[in-house]
Amino acid sequence: MQISRAKASLLGLALAASMGMGILVGFAMPDDDLFELRKSLRIFGAVYEKVVTGYVEPVDPGHLMRVGVDAMLGELDPYTSFIDESENARIDIITEGQYGGVGLKVGRRGGEITVVSPVSGASGYEQGVRTGDVITKVAGQPTATLSIEDVETLLRGEPGSTVHITVEREGASAPLTFTLTRERVELPAVTYRGRVGPENQFGYVKLERFTRDAPGAVESALKDLQKAASLRGVVLDLRDNPGGLLRAAVGITELFVPQGTVIVSTRGRRDSVDNAYRSERAPLLPDVPVVILVNGQSASASEIVAGAIQDHDRGIVMGTTTYGKGLVQNIRSLPHNTALKLTTAQYYTPSGRSIQSLGPVGRDTSAASTSRTHETDAGRTVRDGDGIRPDVRVPAPTPSALEKALTRRAAFFRYANHYAATHDTLTTDFSVTDADLTAFRDWLDQEGLQYPTRAERSLDSLQARIDAHGYDGAQDEAEALMGALRQARAAAFTRHAQDLKRHLEREILARYVKADRQVAALLPGDEQVTAATDLLQNSDRYDRLLTPTDER
């Protein structure tokens, strides 16, 4: 649809003025740069106006503006981004741990929009929506043509308003319709706390996100764990935690390090962003041994905590190398309920390490050509340039080819739906048995679900080439090889039975119990948590790891 030249001109001027105002307020610029800025804004506004008003076909002004902004920000780092009105709700999730919605985490399974997990206590959970339900309509709109983001947007809204959803559930004779009330959904920072290890000597806290309430939640969890008996050690689990607020990271680290200790510093283009953040309180647990669990998805605030604990030799970092996101973003408000997430500084650990990954170096390597060495308080050598490298590397178990193939076809997910449709309740001590695994295999055969491994898919491709080019002499060998691969897959059910049962148990539990009970049930089989408690039991090894190599 065409718009008038006057409106377009005003739009271009408004855009230029608002962009210029934002930059001028943010920085005192040299005259040459200021001239270049004003010149570029005039050119940009003129080009934008000419295209919108004079292009051969009608142009969507909003879409064109978004493309231009995204292209401009794409020249910077991966984290500086424009946040439009529909995405602004995500900011509340990051900073506050809450949003206006119905508490349904959705994803795509088998090509369909599916409930991955309902948030305990929210409207979706209370009304009876289950993990595995396939959402077919939201607010009267069929989901077949909607993206995940579209569905999330439709589910969110003003607290107190309602939204209708229709779901298909295995075992139900007809689609189910729910009227859900949107409300402030609280996402807990701590999703589980409990005691682990022999005789439950150690505390375990799973921190999911760094929101404003996270420090208080971690402190409360630790105090509750101390009530029964003193803690001989603590495992703080930051695996898969993408970060959040800087102040939350500082507040959590304060629970373990001495008052006055530097936790993190920020350095940027402006003096006002150069800060050193110190602990402002006495620690809750000044001497209790600590293990911080991290992996490749632990980022930002997670890396601040891990880096400070490591640099001050306050505990052991265990797992795999972290993500390497050491850039500070601030949210700047823009007109029409939009915002700019702008990188303004970099994080540095107390020893002076940059958290930011400097390039696509191999993860978990002992050294990288771009890294520099630093020293912890005790004189241990640590490196920068690639996130936080663990003191003890304990990788997560690698799924077998069979488990990967079953996961690709959502076989565990679908079978858990079938199980929930045929079992009303679970026993309190439920665990997947050999008989359950056999039932799962039988179900796969009954459903005719194909789950070829990578090797089988490669052989299928080879078979297609043999057929296309008439290589009849190779047919027998190809068929024999396919038979061998299928036998190997059948044997893999026995060889990898424990891993398959654990995966199946995780999916089945998600249909019946809350997240904290799911974690509790699966913790005994978590090899990285077991490695952490083993280390806490071995005080001599723990102390050696905190001692410089030449002094051991």
Which residue is catalytic, options 92, 237, 311, 526?
311
Residue 83 · residue 340 · CB < 8 Å: yes
- Say yes or no: 225 and 265 in one domain: yes
Over residues 238-288, the pLDDT tens digits come to 999 999 899 999 999 999 999 999 999 999 887 776 799 999 999 999 999
DSSP symbols for 80-112: -EEE-TTTTHHHHHHHHSEEEE--EEEEEETTE
Average pLDDT, the chain: 86
**How many other CB atoms sit within 10 Å of the CB of residue 378?**
12
Over residues 285-321, the pLDDT tens digits come to 999 999 999 999 999 999 999 999 999 999 999 999 9
pLDDT at 56 over 70: yes
SS3 labels along 499-533: HHHHHHHHHHHCCCCCHHHHHHHHHHHCHHHHHHH
Which residue is catalytic, options 81, 300, 302, 354?
300
Q: Is residue 14 part of a domain?
A: yes
- Say yes or no: 332 and 370 in one domain: yes
Domain holding 273, by residue range, is 190-396
Q: What 3-state DSSP class applies to 498?
A: helix
Q: Is residue 227 part of a domain?
A: yes
Residue ending a domain, choose from 186, 210, 235: 186
**Beta partners for 168?**
134
Give percent of the chain with pLDDT exceeding 70.
Answer: 83
- Say yes or no: 146 and 51 in one domain: no
Residue ending a domain, choose from 146, 165, 186: 186
pLDDT at 95: 61
Domain count, the chain: 4
* CATH number for position 286: 3.90.226.10
Which tokens sit at 120? 């305990």
Q: What's the pLDDT band for 515 if we cut at 50, 70, 90?
A: confident
The span from the CA of 130 to the CA of 453, in Å, is 30
Q: Is residue 20 part of a domain?
A: yes
- Say yes or no: 28 and 165 in one domain: no
DSSP symbols for 409-472: TTHHHHHHHHHHHH-S---TT----HHHHHHHHHHHHHHT-----HHHHHHHHHHHHHHHHT-G
Q: Is residue 540 part of a domain?
A: no
Q: Would you call 424 a catalytic residue per the annotation?
A: no
Q: Would you call 9 a catalytic residue per the annotation?
A: no
- Say yes or no: 211 and 181 in one domain: no
- Say yes or no: 500 and 410 in one domain: yes
Strands 373-375 and 98-101: unpaired
The span from the CA of 237 to the CA of 280, in Å, is 24
Q: Enter the pTM of the model.
A: 0.81
- Say yes or no: 292 and 367 in one domain: yes
Half-sphere exposure of 208 (CA within 13 A, CB side): 18
Q: Is residue 475 part of a domain?
A: no
Over residues 144-170, the pLDDT tens digits come to 999 998 999 899 888 899 999 999 999
Q: Is residue 88 part of a domain?
A: no
Q: Is residue 364 part of a domain?
A: yes
Which residue is catalytic, options 137, 325, 501, 514?
325
The span from the CA of 394 to the CA of 526, in Å, is 11
Residues 6+ apart with CB under 8 A from 410: 109, 110
**How many other CB atoms sit within 10 Å of the CB of residue 142?**
11
- Say yes or no: 285 and 324 in one domain: yes
- Say yes or no: 379 and 269 in one domain: yes
Residue 297 · residue 273 · CB < 8 Å: no
- Say yes or no: 309 and 365 in one domain: yes
- 222/455: higher pLDDT: 222
* CATH number for position 176: 2.30.42.10
pLDDT at 509 over 50: yes
Least confident of 10-14, 220-224, 395-399, 446-450: 10-14
Over residues 324-372, the pLDDT tens digits come to 999 888 888 888 888 899 999 999 999 999 999 865 444 454 444 467 8
- Say yes or no: 382 and 515 in one domain: no
Q: Is residue 463 part of a domain?
A: no
Q: Would you call 325 a catalytic residue per the annotation?
A: yes
- Say yes or no: 307 and 202 in one domain: yes
pLDDT at 228: 82
The span from the CA of 374 to the CA of 359, in Å, is 19
